[in-house]
Chain A
Amino acid sequence: MTASVNLTELEHDALTELVNIGVSRAASSLRSMVGEQVLLSVPSVDVVTRMAAATLIRERESEELVAVRQDFEGAFSGRAMLIFPQANSLELVKAVTGDDLDACEVRAMEMEALAETGNVVLNGCLATMANLLRRPLTMSLPEVVRGDGKLFFEIENPPEDDAVVLFLYINFTISGRDIRGYIAMLMDLPSLRALKELVGEFIASVMATDDLGELG
């Protein structure tokens, strides 16, 4: 299921850690946004093909999905997506907008709220990673799409770019609501190779440090 660029176990751990740092930042941003306790964690990271990513989503989610999508460009380029099951997305919107809105207002605000939340999470995640890896990264505006894994990962008409997907499971806890979602980063192979190299540099820098506290 893994793509042709193989990460070592240590690189895998390091990448997971980088993503965790990213989502932690994003959670922190969300916290200040909604003024509530927000917990975000990424238990694991997989590098898979588009098809495998679509399968993973399909196996785990049987209802319609909502995705917030942003393209990024820099040392590594691609498209980032924050994906929720439809039901969870409404929960997220409610959590972000507060419980005092009625259902009608929630629906009216859904798109905007999702786009903003997605931007915070994805931007926090990617920008933090780029920062840690000391590389600049630019991101497009968020876009909300509905559909399924096939659509998100362009299975029907795949571009000829040998793209792989960095597939992250993400657990949200906002205001006591448990929301599960996925972060998927579509990257072409050169970008993944660049990322792998950057991760390697990160590992080296960690190993070179005697006192990890100094990293803070």
Chain B
Amino acid sequence: MTDDRHAAIPSQIRKALEALPAPALETLSGAWCWDVGAKRLHADGRFAQLCNLAPESAAAGVPTSSFFAAIHPDDVMRIKIAVAGVMHGSELFAKEYRVGEARTGYRWVSARGAAERDADQHVLRFSGVLTDITEQKRVQEQLRIAQTAGGVGTFGYTSGFGTVEVSDQFCRLLGLSPTDALPVRTVNGAVIQGGEIIETGRRELGGLEQAEFLIVRPDTGEHRWIARRGEVVRDDFSDGERMVGVIHDVTEFKRVEAELRRLTAALEDRVDARTRERDQVWNLSKDLLFVAGRNGKFRAINPAWEKVLGFSSEELVGAPVHALIHLDDLPAMHERMARAARGESIGEFECQVRSRDGAFRWFSWTTTPAGDAIHATGRDITARKALEDQLRQSQKMEAVGQLTGGLAHDFNNMLTGVLGGIDMVRRRLRDGRMQDVERFLEAASTSGQRAAALTHRLLAFSRRQSLHSAPVDVEALASSMADLLRRTLGEQIRLELEMTPQLPMALADANQLESAILNLAINARDAMPSGGVLTIRARALTLDDAELQRSDHATAGDYVEISVADTGGGISREVLGKVFDPFFTTKPIGQGTGLGLSMIYGFVQQSHGHVRVESHVGQGTIFRLYLPVHVGETQVAIDEAQPAPGGAGQSVLVIEDDASVRLLVVQVLEELGYRPLETTGSREALPLLQSDAPIDLLITDVGLPGLNGRQLAEIARERRPQLPVLFMTAYAEPALDQNQFLDEGMAIISKPFGIDQLAQRIALMFGR
């Protein structure tokens, strides 16, 4: 047997097997001869030695009782009976027992003897051989203990035999009565699953693979699992093959194994159930859920995406998340994604997400890092946003209403100036007194222009006016507002303007800037109920990245700072952090919208600028707006006082639904030498536009019933691609950004406009 084969056999058995091959049998066996007639026992030296007899006297003959003298007290009775059996006729004496003495210890001997009889069957002599089998016994005992303790049964089967040699433990394991040999069929018959324990057909030498058998114990009917190991060796006696091996009971092991399997399966079931629950949340959620990699690309989206935005999983998985985000929200979104990729949790990030049909919806996102992925959930807040917008608009209108109250007085004054002036002119004309006419007309015109400026500001405030970032002379703008501001602030508050001379132009929407300053001034007024000083300063400065850290859009560079400072009560630290939040207000309900500062914030951000607020309780508050300096040439303002150049009979199509405006425009065109074609809307204009009639310029109102001015311009340019178009607008909501609204060769003029202003524009359209 090689060592590796040993390894397959339990260690207890291996120990016993290793002990076995030692030559256990003493070559020197002792012999005895019991002379029945002479009543003497003769024995050789070895027998005498084993049985504590003096060798010389043993050879000479000792009393027959000497045979029993040295036998262990526990064995002596049965040996006496066995000898009695021989004396009575038993042919064979084959016993194992202990001899020696308690002092020196006992040894196991095997005695084999037979009786010699005369013709009458009387015993003449009883002789035999005594062999020391102590070692053999010891090994057998070890083997027995090993088998019993280890629960291991051994077997040996010689090929071709009908029986197999087995150990007692083998029989016990199979539930059979202990015996030395069992029919192969009895052994294999116990098996109900796993094939043959004793493989009768097995011939090839070598190790038997471990096999397991389910058996029914014949004694109890119990089902047990039995494992077998062993090997096939060459049989020295039969020249055939011999299968030797061991079996042991693995039922408990199998049971534990099965239990473990069951537990594992149960665990899997539970995990499955949890997964299903989780899947249900994933599948049923109305919120948009997605998993993205740290690279910002979709890994998985839930079905809500299809329902809410119309995108399927196939379309989005692998695509970058930012592809769906509104341009306005992209920078903020990139910043949030970068933070999420770093493992931060992002909460309540609001942005607009494009749906499949191109419309945008508002979502509030919360993300959690999970391993190398980002898990995000987005709640549709479009309805809330719309409501907020609505509310904001109504609040704005409320604010306009408040403003209007204050402004109505001025407006009435201006109207009085206009109407009164016209009245006076009419009287002078009736009386034929022409000398004062020009003075009154001048006064009426001035009042009208002031009124026009006021409505501009109101429109800007209500954000109904198109945005047009353009170079702004901040100093001039602030100075022009001084009158309005003084009226708004009241008599208890002193207004101071501190303008740095030679300020560079800022790039912003002038109307918005005016509105912002007005708002800040009103806030300052409210912060100083018992009076104070409001200071508006403007200066140029350079901001670096560190200073613009908290800005969304601004980059390091040159800025114009416009600051509005009051000497009021100041703003506490807690409140200071919220002042730009929409609807945040410290004013009593009904007195403030809480929108002014958020609008300013929005305007400044849109202008790629920055806003900052500093406040000290008891000392006052300073708001600082930073607007980028305009780089490039300053457009020379059109000098509207210059007389307008005249036309040369060019054909001008006028589309205007308002009769008085139409009358005025047509009149001006005729006076300037153009040939106006007068229409009231698309119904009249379309046939002309689609005909070959010569048209050199189109002047159209933007807000028309039916097709609007922009659409008519499109149609006009189908036949006349180079046709110049001048839009007139009282306000132009779709034209929020003029650069997008206008194509090449198009211009816009805001109502109200002076006749000279219109004439200048028309001349510009014709390239003069």
* A interface residue numbers (CB < 8 A to B): 1, 9-10, 13-14, 17-18, 20-21, 24-25, 27-28, 39-41, 52, 55-56, 58-62, 128, 132, 203, 206-207, 209-213, 215-216
Looking at B128-136, B175-183, B501-509, B616-624, the stretch in contact with chain A turns out to be: B175-183
Chain B hits for A212, CB < 8 A: 64, 80, 83-84, 87
Looking at B88-96, B198-206, B427-435, B658-666, the stretch in contact with chain A turns out to be: B88-96
Q: Does B213 sit within 8 A of A, measured CB to CB?
A: no
- Which residue on B lies nearest to A169, using beta carbons? B179
B39 touches A20 (CB 8 A): no
Q: How far in angstroms is the closest Cβ of chain A from B542?
A: 107
- A213 and B84 CA atoms in complex are apart in Å by 8
* B interface residue numbers (CB < 8 A to A): 34, 36, 39, 64-65, 77-78, 80-85, 87-92, 94, 115, 121-123, 126, 176-177, 179, 181-183, 185-186, 189, 218-219
- A183 and B115 CA atoms in complex are apart in Å by 24
A21 touches B78 (CB 8 A): no
B218 touches A18 (CB 8 A): no
Q: How far in angstroms is the closest Cβ of chain B from A129?
A: 10
- A132 and B530 CA atoms in complex are apart in Å by 144
- A22 and B389 CA atoms in complex are apart in Å by 120
Q: How far in angstroms is the closest Cβ of chain A from B438?
A: 143
Known: A211-B39, A211-B64, A213-B64. A17 touches B85 (CB 8 A): yes
- Which residue on B lies nearest to A10, using beta carbons? B77
B91 touches A27 (CB 8 A): yes
Q: Of the candidates B65, B121, B177, B179, which one forms a contact with A211 in the assembled complex, judged by CB atoms under 8 Å apart?
A: B65
Q: How far in angstroms is the closest Cβ of chain A from B222?
A: 15
- A138 and B308 CA atoms in complex are apart in Å by 108
Chain B hits for A20, CB < 8 A: 85, 90-92
Known: A60-B179, A211-B39, A213-B39. A41 touches B92 (CB 8 A): yes
Q: How far in angstroms is the closest Cβ of chain B from A125?
A: 11
Q: Which 8 A-B pairs have the closest CB atoms?
A: A17-B85, A216-B123, A62-B185, A213-B36, A24-B91, A216-B87, A215-B87, A13-B78
- A56 and B179 CA atoms in complex are apart in Å by 10
Chain A hits for B126, CB < 8 A: 213
Known: A13-B78, A206-B80. A213 touches B123 (CB 8 A): yes
- Which residue on A lies nearest to B175, using beta carbons? A59
A56 touches B85 (CB 8 A): no
- A61 and B162 CA atoms in complex are apart in Å by 10
Known: A14-B81, A128-B89. A210 touches B176 (CB 8 A): no
- A21 and B157 CA atoms in complex are apart in Å by 33
- Which residue on A lies nearest to B65, using beta carbons? A210
Of listed B84, B115, B122, residue having the most chain A CB within 10 A: B84
A13 touches B81 (CB 8 A): yes
Known: A56-B177, A59-B218. A213 touches B91 (CB 8 A): no
Q: Of the candidates A17, A25, A55, which one forms a contact with B84 in the assembled complex, judged by CB atoms under 8 Å apart?
A: A17
B186 touches A213 (CB 8 A): no
Q: Of the candidates B39, B81, B122, B176, which one forms a contact with A17 in the assembled complex, judged by CB atoms under 8 Å apart?
A: B81
Of listed A203, A206, A213, residue having the most chain B CB within 10 A: A213
Of listed A41, A60, A216, residue having the most chain B CB within 10 A: A216
- Which residue on A lies nearest to B187, using beta carbons? A59
B77 touches A207 (CB 8 A): yes
Known: A60-B183, A213-B64. A203 touches B81 (CB 8 A): yes
Could you list some 8 contacts between A and B, CB below 8 A? A14-B81, A17-B81, A17-B82, A39-B91, A41-B91, A62-B186, A132-B88, A213-B87
Q: How far in angstroms is the closest Cβ of chain A from B443?
A: 137
A59 touches B186 (CB 8 A): yes
B89 touches A21 (CB 8 A): yes
A207 touches B80 (CB 8 A): yes
Chain B hits for A56, CB < 8 A: 177
A10 touches B177 (CB 8 A): no
A10 touches B183 (CB 8 A): no
Q: Of the candidates B123, B177, B183, which one forms a contact with A61 in the assembled complex, judged by CB atoms under 8 Å apart?
A: B183
- A153 and B76 CA atoms in complex are apart in Å by 37
Known: A55-B177, A213-B123. A25 touches B89 (CB 8 A): yes
Chain B hits for A210, CB < 8 A: 65
Chain B hits for A40, CB < 8 A: 91
Q: How far in angstroms is the closest Cβ of chain A from B527?
A: 110
Chain B hits for A17, CB < 8 A: 81-82, 84-85, 90
Known: A21-B88, A55-B177, A61-B183. A13 touches B82 (CB 8 A): yes
Q: How far in angstroms is the closest Cβ of chain A from B672?
A: 132
A215 touches B84 (CB 8 A): yes
A18 touches B78 (CB 8 A): no
Chain A hits for B115, CB < 8 A: 216
- A60 and B174 CA atoms in complex are apart in Å by 13
- A40 and B89 CA atoms in complex are apart in Å by 12
- A148 and B177 CA atoms in complex are apart in Å by 18
- A100 and B39 CA atoms in complex are apart in Å by 47
Chain A hits for B39, CB < 8 A: 211, 213
Chain B hits for A211, CB < 8 A: 39, 64-65
- A211 and B78 CA atoms in complex are apart in Å by 15
- A210 and B69 CA atoms in complex are apart in Å by 12
B81 touches A213 (CB 8 A): no
B90 touches A60 (CB 8 A): no
Of listed B82, B121, B185, residue having the most chain A CB within 10 A: B82
